[in-house]
């Protein structure tokens, strides 16, 4: 007997959903032909596999419902939203400076870049010109964030594919960056580094020398990871030719960051829509050829080297001078002045109680963070609280291409592809 | 730049393909509701031309008197898929021609409305205890969409009472509260 055992469905429209959309109901489910269980042909049945939301290889609370034909993925249906916190709603009830802690918690693997992006958007809306020292410090913050973001990606992806050692090396370096972050902001994860018009704090004494020393040593770790992974037979076999997206598809899916560049599109917000004076730094934008997981690895790897180059240049040019703009309407007066000077106290009071008022208008400001183009779109009606603030979440948009990439691959490749997207569920779900 | 809701697909196709325009990269799709209840909802498309390196923001005004409906741009950009689902989820704007318009960040049987609308209270419509009660009452079928249940024998494996309810078109346990026209 070779009659394939199939399941036939009659999808009938019997109900109407809450929004008037038809609800399709499978009817008559069951084996279509009367063959008994003994002559089941392998591969006849599709299987429904639920992956996540609690699964170490989904990098957070991502849930994938996978339709499998044997070991081959027929279809992937991602479910997101398990970490939805309503930041965009919450932000409508908060002052602009109070949005900054919310941005920490979106992409929590590169919090400093998120802080910078938000304040740049608010400053664009208000027309504030920040000081030169602040600009360079923000570049340093962005590049440190990119480095820790890529290091986490590299370590965890290597673990997903079965290589444990690089994880230890990359997390060692990430830990050292976290030490710098802690010395600067007092926090390792929720940095809340920036303020509208400046920074929460200047860097402490000796910090710049420490980071310079780190920049000198870091490429050695990169070389070690390079030696272990880049020409490793298992790594290449698991990543090359897996999850391929062409340049047209990548643009069509609105991908950004390393995902887009690995497909051969040289779009980098730092080069194409420069901010913070990135056009004055000397760095290259790595671009892949094949658009597979391996090229995404190579692109991120090279970005680590380029970010180190930018860090070195930024540290070399870091000028003296004030960090915050000289404008008592947006920057809190020093505590000593607020306690002794009447005028300073009034400014302090008005800022804390009423917040900083933005003019009527709107601004969209994109920055390149580790995951891709992170944009903040802020609409103001003239009060101290935004009418709408929108995070353009790079990993949410990149993740939308997962069903396309995973079509027809093996289940084990799905893990590699999902890892290559570099998602952070805090940002996907916001 | 504001355009008519009816023309959205034609205009965006033209902006994407016309030689002098080439806004081929869809950056973002989102919506804005102003605090002034008289103002219409705005649907915002952020475009970028990878060839010419110029951004463009296109807006569509949707009056609240009429049903919030607009043509989907998924046929032009696949990347609009999840973005439009999010706008539908958060604002209740329906996209005609979207291949799979479901809630995305909230769960599918969520019945409290659309969270980013200004008439939606910050803490939700239901009390904390009601939310906990509903969360504990979630039935297994609410975790899978009908489409997923039709894969393999998942539907047949469900208990008989759930099968019966699904056949009637009921999913989840939470009724949609009546929504006053705003």
Over residues A44-101, the pLDDT tens digits come to 677 788 887 888 888 888 888 888 888 888 888 888 888 888 899 999 999 998 999 9
Q: Which residues of A touch B147 (CB under 8 A)?
A: 24, 77
Higher pLDDT, B89 or A328: B89
Q: Cα separation of A116 and A100, whole Å? A: 9
Does A89 sit within 8 Å of B116, measured CB to CB?
yes
Contact A13, A32 (CB under 8 A): no
CA distance A77 to chain B (A): 8
User: Which residue in B13, B16, B24, B27 has the most chain A C-beta atoms within 10 A of its own C-beta, making it the best mutation to test that interface?
Assistant: B27
pLDDT value of residue B173: 44
Residues A347-399 have pLDDT tens digits of: 888 888 888 888 898 999 999 988 989 999 999 988 889 999 999 999 999 99
pLDDT band at A140 (very low <50, low <70, confident <90, very high): very high
pLDDT band at A310 (very low <50, low <70, confident <90, very high): very high
User: Residue B27's Cα: distance from chain center in Å?
Assistant: 17
User: Residue A357's Cα: distance from chain center in Å?
Assistant: 29
- pLDDT of B150 > 60? The answer is yes
CA distance A93 to chain B (A): 8
Q: At what angle do helices A111-126 and A132-161 cross, to 10 degrees?
A: 140
Q: Cα separation of A84 and A98, whole Å? A: 19
Residues A177-210 have pLDDT tens digits of: 999 999 999 888 888 889 888 888 888 988 999 9
Q: Which residues of B touch A362 (CB under 8 A)?
A: 32
| Number of alpha carbons in the 13 Å side-chain half-sphere of residue A8 | 8
Across the interface, of B94, B122, B149, the residue whose CB is closest to A26 is B149
CA distance B134 to chain A (A): 16
pLDDT value of residue A348: 87
Does B77 sit within 8 Å of A7, measured CB to CB?
no
DSSP states of A337-405: HHHH-HHHHHHHHHHHHH-PPPPSEEEEEEEEETTEEEEEEEEE-SSSS-SEEEEE-HHHHHHTTHHHH
pLDDT value of residue A14: 43
Across the interface, of A255, A366, A390, the residue whose CB is closest to B30 is A390
CA distance A349 to chain B (A): 26
Residues A281-291 have pLDDT tens digits of: 998 899 988 88
Does A46 sit within 8 Å of B151, measured CB to CB?
yes
Does B53 sit within 8 Å of A272, measured CB to CB?
yes
Across the interface, of A11, A254, A364, the residue whose CB is closest to B26 is A254
DSSP states of B138-176: --GGGGS-HHHHTSTTTTTTS-HHHHHHHHTT--SSPPP
Across the interface, of B79, B94, B149, the residue whose CB is closest to A254 is B79
- pLDDT of A128 > 50? The answer is yes
Contact A142, A207 (CB under 8 A): no
Across the range A221-250, mean pLDDT stands at 87
DSSP A47: E
- 3-class DSSP state of A77: strand
pLDDT band at A10 (very low <50, low <70, confident <90, very high): very low
pLDDT value of residue A119: 93
Does A80 sit within 8 Å of B151, measured CB to CB?
no
Structure tokens at B52: 């010419």
Compare all CA atoms of chain A with the CA of B30 and give the residue at the minimum distance.
A390
pLDDT value of residue B10: 83
- 3-class DSSP state of B72: coil
Compare all CA atoms of chain B with the CA of A396 and give the residue at the minimum distance.
B82
pLDDT band at A214 (very low <50, low <70, confident <90, very high): very high
Contact A194, A330 (CB under 8 A): no
Does A15 sit within 8 Å of B169, measured CB to CB?
yes
Q: What counts of helices (H) and strands (E) characterise chain A?
A: 17, 10
Closest CA to A243 of A55, A72, A418, A370: A418
pLDDT band at B169 (very low <50, low <70, confident <90, very high): low
Does A19 sit within 8 Å of B146, measured CB to CB?
no
Which segment of A115-129, A131-145, A304-318, B107-121 scores lowest on mean pLDDT?
B107-121
Q: Which residues of B touch A66 (CB under 8 A)?
A: none
CA distance B146 to chain A (A): 7
pLDDT value of residue A302: 92
- Residue whose token pair is 């299987």: A47
Count of residues for chain A?
A: 430
Does B78 sit within 8 Å of A252, measured CB to CB?
yes
Kind of pairing between the strands at B25-32 and A47-51: unpaired
Helix H segments across A230-378?
233-239, 247-252, 258-262, 269-272, 293-317, 335-340, 342-354
Does B77 sit within 8 Å of A254, measured CB to CB?
yes
Does B146 sit within 8 Å of A23, measured CB to CB?
yes
Paired with B31 in beta bridges are B43
Kind of pairing between the strands at A63-69 and A72-79: antiparallel
pLDDT value of residue B146: 65
CA distance A397 to chain B (A): 7
CA distance B64 to chain A (A): 16
pLDDT band at B139 (very low <50, low <70, confident <90, very high): low
Q: Cα separation of A72 and A68, whole Å? A: 6
Across the range A263-281, mean pLDDT stands at 89
Does A86 sit within 8 Å of B115, measured CB to CB?
yes
Q: Which residues of A touch B57 (CB under 8 A)?
A: 364
Higher pLDDT, A258 or B148: A258
Which segment of A378-392, A411-425, B166-180 scores lowest on mean pLDDT?
B166-180
pLDDT value of residue A229: 86
Structure tokens at A429: 């779900």
Does A400 sit within 8 Å of B81, measured CB to CB?
yes
- pLDDT of A9 > 60? The answer is no
């Amino acid at each position: 007997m070779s009659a394939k055992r199939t399941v036939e469905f009659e999808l009938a429209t019997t109900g109407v959903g809450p929004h008037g959309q038809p609800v399709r109901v499978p009817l008559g489910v069951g084996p279509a032909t009367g063959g008994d269980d003994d002559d089941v042909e392998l591969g006849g049945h599709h299987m429904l596999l639920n992956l996540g939301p609690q699964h170490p290889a989904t990098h957070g609370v991502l849930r994938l419902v996978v339709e499998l034909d044997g070991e081959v993925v027929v279809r992937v249906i991602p479910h997101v939203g398990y970490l939805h916190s309503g930041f965009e709603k919450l932000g409508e009830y908060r002052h602009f400076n109070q949005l900054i802690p919310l941005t920490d918690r979106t992409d929590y693997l590169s919090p400093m870049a998120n802080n910078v992006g938000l304040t740049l958007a608010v400053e664009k809306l208000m027309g504030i010109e920040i000081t030169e020292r602040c600009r360079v410090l923000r570049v340093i913050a962005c590049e440190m964030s990119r480095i820790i973001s890529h290091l986490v990606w590299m370590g965890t992806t290597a673990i997903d594919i079965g290589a444990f050692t690089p994880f230890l090396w990359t997390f060692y370096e990430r830990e050292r960056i976290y030490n710098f972050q802690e010395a600067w902001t007092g926090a390792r994860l929720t940095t809340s580094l920036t303020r509208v018009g400046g920074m929460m704090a200047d860097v402490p004494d000796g910090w710049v020398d420490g980071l310079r020393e780190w920049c000198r040593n870091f490429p050695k770790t990169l070389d070690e990871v390079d030696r272990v992974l880049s020409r490793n037979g298992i790594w290449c076999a698991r990543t090359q030719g897996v999850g391929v997206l062409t340049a047209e598809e990548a643009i069509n899916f609105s991908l950004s960051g390393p995902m887009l560049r690995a497909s051969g599109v040289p779009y980098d917000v730092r080069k194409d829509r420069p901010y913070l004076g990135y056009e004055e730094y000397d760095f290259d934008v790595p671009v892949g050829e094949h658009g597979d997981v391996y090229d995404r690895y190579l692109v991120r790897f090279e970005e680590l080297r380029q970010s180190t180059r930018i860090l070195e240049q930024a540290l070399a040019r870091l000028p003296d001078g004030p960090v915050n703009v000289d404008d008592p309407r947006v920057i809190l007066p020093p505590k000593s002045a607020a306690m002794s000077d009447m005028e300073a106290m009034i400014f302090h009071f008005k800022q804390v109680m009423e917040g900083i008022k933005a003019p009527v208008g709107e601004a969209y400001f994109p920055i390149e963070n580790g995951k891709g183009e992170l944009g903040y779109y802020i609409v103001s009606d003239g009060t101290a609280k935004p009418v709408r603030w929108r995070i353009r979440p790079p990993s949410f948009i990149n993740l939308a291409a997962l069903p396309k990439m995973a079509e027809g691959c093996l289940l084990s490749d799905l893990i590699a592809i999902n890892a290559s997207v570099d998602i952070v569920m805090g940002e996907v779900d916001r | 730049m504001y355009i008519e809701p009816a023309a959205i697909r034609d205009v965006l196709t033209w902006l994407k393909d016309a030689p002098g325009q080439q806004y081929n990269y869809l950056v973002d799709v989102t919506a804005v509701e102003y605090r002034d209840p008289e103002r219409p909802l705005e649907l915002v498309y952020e475009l970028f031309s990878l060839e010419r390196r110029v951004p463009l923001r296109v807006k569509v005004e949707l009056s609240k008197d009429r049903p919030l409906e607009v043509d989907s741009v998924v046929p032009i950009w696949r990347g609009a898929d999840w973005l439009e689902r999010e706008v539908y989820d958060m604002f209740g704007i329906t996209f005609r021609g979207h291949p799979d318009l479901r809630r995305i960040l909230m769960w599918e049987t969520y019945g409290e409305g659309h969270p980013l609308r200004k008439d939606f209270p910050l803490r939700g419509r239901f009390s904390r205890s009601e939310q906990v009660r509903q969360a504990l009452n979630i039935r297994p079928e609410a975790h899978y969409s009908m489409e997923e249940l039709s894969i393999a024998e998942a539907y047949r494996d469900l208990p008989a009472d759930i099968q019966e309810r699904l056949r009637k078109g009921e999913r989840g346990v939470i009724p949609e509260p009546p929504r006053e026209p705003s």
